[in-house]
Structure 1
Amino acid sequence: MDGIPLGDSYTWTAARALGVTRGQIRADGVPVARGLYVSRSRDLDLRMRCRAWAGVLPDDAAFGLHTATALLGAGPASQDVHVVLTPRQVLPQRGGIRVHARALAEDDVIDVDGLRVTSGAQTYLDMAQHVPPADLLALGDALVRSGHLDAARLQRRLSRAQRVRGVVPARRWATHLTGSAGSPPESRLRYWLLTSDLPDPEVQVPIPDGWGQVVAHADLGYSRWKIALEYEGRQHAEREQFGRDIDRYSLMAADGWLTLRFAGRHLGGPTAVVERTRRALSSRGWRPQPR
């Protein structure tokens, strides 16, 4: 606001105290919550909304759960802003935010562009009680891929998580997390195979030609049986990508690889993924091990 140092976000009370009129606030401010505004000169994205909230929340507040997932580059933003606070008798509640009580250690909070955000390990643990196992695996893979989570940091956090809600599934899938998974749908495809009686698939499988030169990588697969599994999203329908896929699949077939291709319609349950993979493995000589 010209001549008045309000900044990118401000409260009604602070603006009025500086002499800003009601009309000026209505003209400039985009409401984030009752009495809290972001200037129209800024994009009202998640980071800007969080910056506005950070100015009015207690000092120990950190952005967590679904909001942390988005800020850490591991998932989409939710409509509400999720905030984590140290347990207290009464947690502050306001429209537009959802407040959760957590006893966080110093390592459980990191700085992301000047915002206090729960760490990758803490976010993974918090989300374990809110999302299905397939989505938890996809989230963990995304946190590893974004650089905010690794085995050592996760192990340290889970070792302190006795009796914490969600710790059982968090530990169940911790050993399967990988940054090599290219996307959440690939992780969900892998989930159905990991929960079946089939061999665990390899991730980003190198495909060599007859001279040992790697000519492609499969999303998932089984090198021993020369079986590749590919997830194909909408981007594979684009002209250039479609042409590259044709070349890649031709090279793989020429060297004896059998490729199974899956899309979003196949990820809602295990049947198509598991049974087609089972048939492919059986056709290459795999046999289930006796229990």
Structure 2
Amino acid sequence: MDGVFLGSEALARGALTEYQLRRHYRRLLPDVYTAKHTPVTLTDSTVAAWLWSRRKAVIAGLAASAMHGAEYVDDDEPIELVWPNHRAPRGVITRNDTLLPGEVQTINGLSVTTPERTAFDLARRDTDGEAVAALDALVRATRITRTDVVALAGRHPGARGVRRLPQVLDLVDAGSQSPRETWLRLLLIDAGFPRPVTQIPVFSPHGKPIYYLDMGWPDRMLAAEYDGEQHRENRGRYRRDIVRSEYIASLGWRRVRVTAGDREADIIRRVQRVWVPEQRIA
């Protein structure tokens, strides 16, 4: 059998014998199986959790955001379900939340919280930085607005964490294209720099945008960018990055390039160093 399935159902209809189930399949959750030696994706885990609930639960949280197209949700992320069950197995989180009409939709046959409801839930949980990163990705994928989420929040005035909703939503920016870009943007804001503009276009001599800077301050021709490992590991990309860097510098842009392992204090000092001297922050 392909995919994720309920073992009891497969046995009941004669698709498998108990021996075949034990021999060729592995258990993901109670009574939920998939083929042995097959990598388990986030989608597999999501379907498994939903089947474990006997198809009664609503997918929520990060798993729901991934179903709406949000990127950077890890395959081993616990699956959140809105379902009143306090004995969830490992890898599943159940919540006895109230879902009102219009807050659930169907995707590929599974019940999932809508983008607005998913954003509402993400904004109320985790740390501010984690919530903003998740919301950046969800907003980028769905184009929901702050107004959409605030309107939904008005229907749940007593929900846990609702008071922190405005401060989290105010920091959301769909221009951040990875969790590390979100982290860098929030670091700069927390350090006292003006909120940077994201995805700043860099134009060709003919007036067409050919590059985009991660974030920065166009009035000061200063940008900050997060360079992932792919910038060094992919030789073709490395060459293109050299050409890009030379062109951007020729226009007068100054850039602070951040990589994994850079210390936060050092990043802030580097940005301060190239800030207009008379405008430096304390």
Q: How large is the Cα RMSD of the aligned pairs?
A: 2.9
1:67 aligns to 2:63 (yes or no): yes
1:274 aligns to 2:272 (yes or no): no
Who is 1:226 aligned against?
221
Change (3 A) 1:77 1:65: farther
Per-residue CA distance 1:214-269 (angstroms, 9 max, x = gap): 44321011111111111100111121111111111111211211111001223x74
User: Superposed, which structure 2 residues align to 1:106-117 within 5 Å?
Assistant: 106-117=101-112
1:129 is displaced (CA, Å) by 4.3
Change (3 A) 1:27 1:60: closer
1:26 aligns to 2:36 (yes or no): no
1:170 is displaced (CA, Å) by 2.6
Q: Contact 1:67 / 1:77 at 8 angstroms: preserved in 2? A: no
Name which one, 1 or 2, has greater alpha-carbon Rg. Answer: 1
Aligned length: 277
Range with greater deviation from structure 2 (107-116 or 237-246) = 107-116
Change (3 A) 1:29 1:61: same
Who is 1:82 aligned against?
80
Change (3 A) 1:274 1:34: same
TM-score by length of 2: 0.84
SS at match of 1:261: strand
Equivalent in 258, 262, 265 of residue 262 of structure 1: 258
User: Superposed, which structure 2 residues align to 1:153-192 within 5 Å?
Assistant: 153-192=148-187
Change (3 A) 1:208 1:160: same
1:93 is displaced (CA, Å) by 2.0
Q: Contact 1:8 / 1:42 at 8 angstroms: preserved in 2? A: no
Q: Distance in 2 between matches of 1:165 and 1:197?
A: 30
SS at match of 2:177: coil
Percent sequence identity over matched residues?
24
Give structure 1 stretches of 5+ with no counterpart: none
1:79 is displaced (CA, Å) by 5.1
Give structure 2 stretches of 5+ with no counterpart: none
Who is 1:103 aligned against?
98
Q: Contact 1:189 / 1:273 at 8 angstroms: preserved in 2? A: no
1:33 partner letter: L
1:265 partner letter: G
Who is 2:279 aligned against?
286
Q: Distance in 1 between matches of 2:177 and 2:93?
A: 31
